[in-house]
Structure formats: C-alpha cells, structure tokens
Amino acid sequence: MSTVMTPAAAARRELSPFDGRLVGPEDAGYDEARKVYNAMIDKRPAVIARCAGPDDVAKAVNFARDHDLLLAVRGGGHNGAGLGTCDDGVVIDLSPIKEIEVDPQARTARVGGGCVWGEVDRATNEHGLATPSGIISTTGVGGLTLGGGLGHLTRKCGLTIDNLLEAEVVLASGERVRAGEDENPDLYWALRGGGGNFGVVTSFLFRLHEVGTVIGGPTFWPVEAGAEVLSAYREFLPNAPRELGGFFAFATVPPGPPFPEEIHMRKVCGVVWCYAGGEEDAAKAMAPLLERLPEPLLHGVQPMPHAALQGAFDEVYPPGDQWYWRADFVKEIPDEAVEAHAKYGAAMPTWKSTMHLYPIDGAAHDPDSSDTAWSYRDAQYGSVFAGVDPDPAKVDEIRQWTIDYFEALHPYAAGGAYVNMMMDEGQERVRASYRDNYDRLAEVKAKYDPQNTFRVNQNIEPNA
Ligand SMILES: Cc1cc2nc3c(=O)[nH]c(=O)nc-3n(C[C@H](O)[C@H](O)[C@H](O)COP(=O)(O)OP(=O)(O)OC[C@H]3O[C@@H](n4cnc5c(N)ncnc54)[C@H](O)[C@@H]3O)c2cc1C
C-alpha cells in the first residue's frame, strides 16, 4: 500500500476481482455500513469488505494480514461489546452470505455465515423442524453459535453448538478448510464455544429437531413479588421436564399490543416459556410453579410457531438502542442472591432494561465440560444484566445500574461468564470463562492463528 493510498483504495486495487462490495469512509453508504446493533458502539473501520462468498472472505483476510491491519468479522452485528467491528481496520461483513438449505430427510440445515436467526428459524419451521437458537430473531447465526448459543430450546436440544455438525472455515492463512468430527477435529472442538478466534465461518451445518409449534409466551407477576417468584422458580426449574424451557426475567411490560393496556409499562418479574410439545403437557409441566404462586398479572401462553416465539421481542429491541451488558454463570441462587435480585430488579432504570436467567441444564448438561470449548456444563443458569435505552443521554444511568446489579450478584456466581454476553472485561475474565479448556484452546489457536489475526473477539491468545 503506498503512503498516499487509503486502505479502501488499496483494497479495491488488490482484491479485484471482488464479488461483494468494498466500502471506505469516502463512499456513500459508509455510515450505514459501519452501524452495528448496539448504538453505544461507534467505530470507523478503514474498509468494510461486504463479502459475497468464501473467496471474497479469503482475499479480505489475506489483505488485512499482509498489511498488518486490525481485522474484525461481522456476522449479525449484535455483539454487545461491538466485536463485529473495529476502528481503522478491515471489517469482513458476512451479511451477503445468506444461503439456507434445509434437508428435511437428513434433518439438517446448511446456513450461510451471514444469516440471522429469524431467517433460519423461518426456513426450518416450514418443515416443522428447528435447531436451538436465541430469543431475538435479528441476532447473527455466526456470533451466537461460535460463542455457544443459549435459547428457548436449550433444555430440550442443548446449546446451539451441540447441534453444529460441521463448519466451512477461512483460516488466518487464507486457506479454506472444513471442520467436523472426522476432519480437523481440533478446530471443530474449538469452534464450539471458542468464538471467532479460529477463523471465519462461511457456512454452518446444523442438526434439526422435530419442533414446529411450541407453547410459548410470558407469565408476569408484579415486580414486588420478585423474591417470591424467583425462590419458587429456582426450586421448580431443575426438576421440570426437558421439553420445558423457561427463562426468569425482570422486565417492563411493553406499551403496546399484544399486552393488555392496564399493565403497559408496569415493572414485572416472570418467566418466558417455551414448551416443545402439546398444550396439555405444557400446562402440566408449568403447573408446579403456577400453583404455588399467587395469580399472575398475565399468563400469555399459547401455541405458536417456534419462529414466532423467537421473534416475539424484536419490536421491543430494534437495532439502534444503547446497550450495556454484564453476565455471569450461576450454579445456585442462595437466599441472599434472591434478595439482591429483588432489590435491583425493582430498580430497573428504563423500561427496556432487563435481567434474564437462562437455564443451562437438561440437554446442555449431557456433554462433559471438555467435550467442546464451552466449559461451564455444570452451570445451572447464565445470568445477564442489560441496561437498555434509545436515548444516549441515559447511558450513564443504564451502565451504573448494570454494574451495581452485577456486582451485587457476582459473589454468588460460578466464576466465568457466557462470552457472548460479556463486554470488554479483560483477559482474566476470558480465561475464567473457559476454565480448564483455556490451555487447549490456546494450543489450537497457535496452530490455526499463530499471529492472532483474529483478535477482535473475547480473545484467546495463541500459546507461545
Ligand atoms: C438483543 C440481543 C439478544 C441476544 N439474545 C441471545 C440469546 O438469546 N442467546 C444467546 O446465546 N445470545 C444472545 N445474544 C448474544 C449474542 O449471541 C452475541 O451478541 C453474539 O456475539 C451475536 O452474534 P452476531 O453474529 O450477531 O454478532 P457480531 O457482532 O457480528 O459478531 C460477534 C463476534 O462473533 C464473531 N463472528 C460472528 N460471525 C462469525 C463468523 N461467521 N465466523 C467467525 N466469527 C464470527 C465476530 O468476529 C465477533 O467476535 C443476544 C444479543 C443481543 C444484542
């Protein structure tokens, strides 16, 4: 690159022919192209390579590496810490790589690296099938999967990575490889939880399950019942059948349909359910919790396509809000933790701010902690504290509430956190999140990415 040539101009010259689009700061559309989901993140890449396929990806990786430019990889752009973009470097934007092939006989789906979950869930739902994803349909398949994948179907079908059969990967060398049980098994192991550390995944192959219609929706109680509801929930959930997913939440009832007007904007606690099975069985499975608690404000549970449940919160959380996150793995919720939850849950600073406890048991406990890179198979929940508001003037308030809530609960947590729900919290926290798997991950990293080309992520440093 000559000293007068911008990286975008150099990329245009050196990457030709490039099937996708290269966008630099001087181009129309740059400000749109550099936006990510969390409006708190405002980065200015030197060049955004909107890749049309794996060849484009390999060229962009080679370009960034050879010019010693920071390289970020963007799937759905949802990452709370903004790890799908960077300042002054190259962003590989996978969003044009959208192919989805569902094979109902083999019960698999091949999914392009730039898909978001809504696209996949709708395509598999047409066949009465699903793979476990998250709870918001605009989240990227890439980031969610590589970090682990927690969602409505975790208890029945495991983490998303437990259903990842193979991946097509562009390595830091620009080489294209396949990773699966029988090919590059070390890479396959590391991809299942190790995030974007090992390469750019241009295609995922997922196992599908017979899940079409689910019985889903929220049960809400007044936020003042937080301690009572959470105490009952912590005893109920581990004994519930695997078909029943249900995450605990503190939230505010959104100011619009389908919620009854009289509870709009009311702070609540409750459970968001997903039962993969029939209505009667669902009612039976929920009964032990519902019967021991007072009448709820709302029990909005009904049959719906899995894809509809998965998109149910999309309107509340469109792109462009300010988000500040903290997270922890949790094994137990002692009485003191219940009290602290009730206190901070009732103090949510804005109506979009929330706390969720995602179950990580059932099928997610079947693999051992060393079977995949995701090491916390003995956690019972992933807690996430999210301060959210559209107004940038509220940033300090939502950040402070999130940190205060997290710090009050952290003494009762298991150690690390789900990497997909962490901010930039330093190397020790990443190490704690991978525990005994960290050293093996560092070895795999040294083999596939010795120069740490892929470092805009919850970074695993290559073994020296
Ligand atoms: C509103 C909201 C709801 C969420 N709900 C859930 C949930 O229910 N369950 C859950 O598990 N998580 C959830 N998350 C967290 C989510 O999993 C992470 O934010 C994840 O990083 C998003 O992936 P992405 O592809 O959209 O992000 P990006 O910002 O595009 O990327 C995030 C990271 O993944 C890497 N990456 C992405 N795609 C690829 C790829 N194809 N190849 C290599 N590396 C890649 C990037 O380099 C980056 O480090 C949620 C996030 C938000 C904002």
Calculate how far, in angstroms, residue 76's C-alpha sits from the geometric centre of ligand 1: 6
> CA 52, 56, 61, 66 torsion: positive or negative?
negative
pTM of the model: 0.97
In this prediction, residue 417 carries a pLDDT of: 96
Question: Of all residues in the chain, what percent carry a pLDDT higher than 90?
Answer: 98
In this prediction, residue 424 carries a pLDDT of: 87
Calculate how far, in angstroms, residue 147's C-alpha sits from the geometric centre of ligand 1: 7
Residues pairing with 201 in the sheet: 169
Residues 339-383: tens digit of each pLDDT: 999 999 999 999 999 999 999 999 999 999 999 999 999 999 999
The Cα–Cα gap between 153 and 130 comes to 9
Which atom of ligand 1 sits closest to the CA of residue 74? Answer: 30
Ligand 1: residue of 61, 78, 157, 381 to mutate (most ligand atoms within 8 A of CB) is 78
Pure H helices in 40-90 = 54-66
In this prediction, residue 64 carries a pLDDT of: 98
The mean pLDDT of 12-31, rounded to a whole number, is 96
Residues 189-244: tens digit of each pLDDT: 999 999 999 999 999 999 999 999 999 999 999 999 999 999 999 999 999 999 99
Could you tell me how far CA 18 lies from the centroid of its own chain? 30
Say if residues 71 and 64 touch (Cβ distance below 8 Å): yes
The mean pLDDT of 436-448, rounded to a whole number, is 98
The Cα–Cα gap between 162 and 206 comes to 9
Question: Mean pLDDT of all residues in the chain?
Answer: 97
In this prediction, residue 464 carries a pLDDT of: 84
Does pLDDT of 299 surpass 70? yes
Could you tell me how far CA 205 lies from the centroid of its own chain? 18
CA distances from 384 to 70, 133, 151, 218, 395 (A): 29, 17, 13, 18, 18
Among 72, 57, 197, residue whose Cα is nearest residue 113: 57
Residues 6+ apart with CB under 8 A from 39: 319, 320, 321, 322, 323, 390, 392
The Cα–Cα gap between 390 and 184 comes to 44
The mean pLDDT of 293-299, rounded to a whole number, is 98
SS (H, E, C) 200-253: EEEEEEEECECCCEEEEEEEEEEHHHHHHHHHHHHHHHHHCCCCEEEEEEEEEC
Does pLDDT of 394 surpass 80? yes
The mean pLDDT of 281-301, rounded to a whole number, is 98
Which atom of ligand 1 sits closest to the CA of residue 113? Answer: 41
Which atom of ligand 1 sits closest to the CA of residue 82? Answer: 29
The Cα–Cα gap between 130 and 134 comes to 12
Among 107, 243, 100, 104, residue whose Cα is nearest residue 165: 107
Say if residues 217 and 273 touch (Cβ distance below 8 Å): yes
The mean pLDDT of 286-296, rounded to a whole number, is 98
Q: Are strands 100-103 and 298-299 parallel, antiparallel or unpaired?
A: unpaired
Say if residues 269 and 249 touch (Cβ distance below 8 Å): yes
Compute, in degrees rounded to 10, the torsion defined by CA atoms 362, 368, 369, 374. Answer: -60
Residues 411-434: tens digit of each pLDDT: 999 999 999 999 989 999 999 999
Say if residues 50 and 23 touch (Cβ distance below 8 Å): yes
The mean pLDDT of 86-98, rounded to a whole number, is 98
Which atom of ligand 1 sits closest to the CA of residue 36? Answer: 29
In this prediction, residue 406 carries a pLDDT of: 98
Confidence category of residue 137, pLDDT binned at 50, 70, 90: very high
Question: Of all residues in the chain, what percent carry a pLDDT higher than 70?
Answer: 99
Calculate how far, in angstroms, residue 421's C-alpha sits from the geometric centre of ligand 1: 9
| Ligand 1 residue neighbourhood (C-beta within 6 Å) | 37, 73-80, 83-84, 94, 113, 134-136, 139-140, 142-144, 146-147, 149-151, 195-196, 200-201, 317, 420-421, 456-457
Which atom of ligand 1 sits closest to the CA of residue 199? Answer: 43
Say if residues 358 and 247 touch (Cβ distance below 8 Å): yes
Confidence category of residue 1, pLDDT binned at 50, 70, 90: low
Residues 59-82: tens digit of each pLDDT: 999 999 999 999 999 999 999 999
Which atom of ligand 1 sits closest to the CA of residue 198? Answer: 43
Say if residues 371 and 323 touch (Cβ distance below 8 Å): no
The Cα–Cα gap between 60 and 91 comes to 9
Calculate how far, in angstroms, residue 118's C-alpha sits from the geometric centre of ligand 1: 14
In this prediction, residue 2 carries a pLDDT of: 52
Q: In what order do the strands lie in the sheet with 47-50?
A: 21-23, 47-50, 90-93, 71-74
Q: Are strands 47-50 and 90-93 parallel, antiparallel or unpaired?
A: parallel
In this prediction, residue 336 carries a pLDDT of: 98
In this prediction, residue 442 carries a pLDDT of: 98
The one-letter code for the residue type at 250 is F
In this prediction, residue 458 carries a pLDDT of: 97
In this prediction, residue 4 carries a pLDDT of: 72
Confidence category of residue 122, pLDDT binned at 50, 70, 90: very high
CA distances from 57 to 46, 318, 337, 414 (A): 16, 28, 46, 38
Among 178, 182, 160, 162, residue whose Cα is nearest residue 170: 178
Calculate how far, in angstroms, residue 419's C-alpha sits from the geometric centre of ligand 1: 10
Q: What is the CA angle 283-288-289, rounded to 5?
A: 95
Residues 143-166: tens digit of each pLDDT: 999 999 999 999 999 999 999 999
